[in-house]
Amino acid sequence: MIERSRNSVIIIGGGASGVILAAHLLRSNDPGLRVTLVERRESFGKGMAYSAALPDHLLNVAATNMSAYPDDPPHYWRWLQEKQLVQTDTGPVYTSRSTYGRYLQDILERLAEDERTTGRLRLIRQECTGVVTTPVGVEARLADGTSLVGHIAVLATGHDQEPAPDQNFAVRMGSADDTQLDPDAPVLILGTGLSMVDAWLTLEHRGHRGEITAVSRRGLLPWPHQKGNPIKLDSADIPLGTELSYFVDWFHKLVRETEKAGGNWRDVVDGLRPFNQRIWQNWPSTAKRRFLNTPRLGGISTAIACHHKFTPA
């Protein structure tokens, strides 16, 4: 059976990226627009990153910078206040990942209610097994044997969700898909970044008794966040579309100028956040390859983490 609709966008993956994309698409006034969100999990919005139930699993970005709508920066903060989860006079707040998952679910629930009579939004709890092109667009094939045909398919599947091939070697920690371990088993964590912290918190919460060892090339731990004052930037201020070496030089010069004015590198990073996606999209392929193949770029990788802004580093 094939279901057809006009002007349709099929979003495969109902986690953060899928929900936020649907929310932005539905801002359109086009009455013929159809957005279909396909998610194989029982719930939409959380995905792997925000299904973590442990309250100690925190976002690595302050709540004031986590709005789903770039043109409405306080959106998430207002939602937290409406739910009485924060105080209006508090400083930087880093909420739990599960709280952010509730925020995304709430956005989707409100969208579903707003579009209930229009039929512009459809939620399907099914696994997509494949996508093929057709003479008029795309066909998304579902595990139950049905198909969805639309003009565009968007893959918003996020991180690899397949189980580790050998649970005695590689396991997953910090989400609803955590791997259960023998509480006395020794654990080796490769890397000492924020994901290591999430993994350790999970094991500690379970009462893990085995020795836990974290290894990294430099043996450094994540720095604590400090309250900053993001610099004001316009897209015209940013050298979009340049080679990586030119962009890095510009970035370092901007940091030096900001420090001379009494700020610090965090202010530059936070000022660049709204432009992360645009910077990445405008880089030539040579710049993207150099960026991905260079282990360390003097802090710039923190600023242009385009595809990982909503997950632990």
Structure tokens at 281: 């999209």
Cα(16)–Cα(117) distance, rounded to whole angstroms?
A: 25
Dihedral (CA of 52, 54, 60, 62) sign: positive
CA distance 236 to 274: 13
Instruction: Look at residue 306 and tell me whether its pLDDT is greater than 70.
Output: no
Residue 249: CB atoms within 10 A of its CB come to 12
- Sign of the four-CA dihedral 54, 58, 59, 60: negative
Return d(Cα 71, Cα 232) in angstroms, integer: 14
Which H or E element spans position 266?
A: helix 265-272
Assess whether pLDDT exceeds 70 at residue 166.
no
Q: What average pLDDT does the structure give for the chain?
A: 85
Structural contact between residues 119 and 59, judged by C-beta atoms closer than 8 angstroms: no
Work out the percent of the chain whose per-residue pLDDT is above 90. Answer: 51
pLDDT in tens, 103-162: 999 999 999 999 999 999 999 999 999 999 999 899 999 999 999 999 999 999 876 655
Residue 163 confidence class, pLDDT cut points 50, 70, 90: low
3 band by pLDDT with thresholds 50, 70 and 90 = very low
DSSP 220: P
At 123 the pLDDT is 96
Encode 104-121: b = buried (16+ Cβ within 10 Å), e = exposed: bbebbeebeeebeeeebb
Q: What ranges make up the beta strands (E) of 105-186?
A: 121-125, 128-134, 137-142, 147-150, 152-155
Q: Which pLDDT band holds residue 303 (cuts at 50, 70, 90)? A: low
The C-alpha atoms of residue 15 and residue 31 are separated, in whole angstroms, by 25
Q: What is the pTM of this model?
A: 0.77
80 pLDDT tier (thresholds 50, 70, 90)? very high
| Residue 77 scores a pLDDT above 80 | yes
pLDDT > 60? residue 300: no
Pairing of strands 137-142, 147-150: antiparallel
